[in-house]
Amino acid sequence: MTYQYHDESIVKNLAEHTTFVFGSNMAGEHSSGAAKIALENFGALKGVGRGWSGQSFAIPTMNEHLQQMPLSQIQHYIDDFKIYCKNHPKNKYFLTSIGCGTAGYTVEEIAPMFKGISHNVIFPASFRPFVEKTLPKLNQKFLHTLFNEERIFSAQEDNSMLDQLDLSDNEISLAKIIVNTQMYPNDSNGRDRSFEIEDILHNLKAKAIQFPDALEARFIIGGAVLATLELYNINESDFIDAWTGIHEIAPPRPAHKAKK
Q: What is the model's pTM?
A: 0.59
**Residue 1: pLDDT band by 50, 70, 90 thresholds?**
low
Residues of the chain with CATH 3.40.220.10: 4-131
Q: Which of 156, 147, 154, 150 is nearest to 242 (CA)?
A: 147
Q: What is the pLDDT of residues 115-156, one digit of tens each?
A: 889 999 999 988 887 887 667 899 999 999 999 888 888 888
Q: What is the DSSP string of 209-220?
A: ----SSHHHHHH
Name the CATH topology of 4-131. Leucine Aminopeptidase, subunit E; domain 1 (3.40.220)
Q: What is the mean pLDDT of the chain?
A: 89
Q: How many CB atoms lie within 10 A of CB 111?
A: 25
Q: What is the pLDDT of residues 193-229, one digit of tens each?
A: 999 999 999 999 888 887 877 888 888 899 999 989 9
Q: Which of 255, 231, 221, 225 is nearest to 243 (CA)?
A: 225
d(CA 172, CA 177): 9
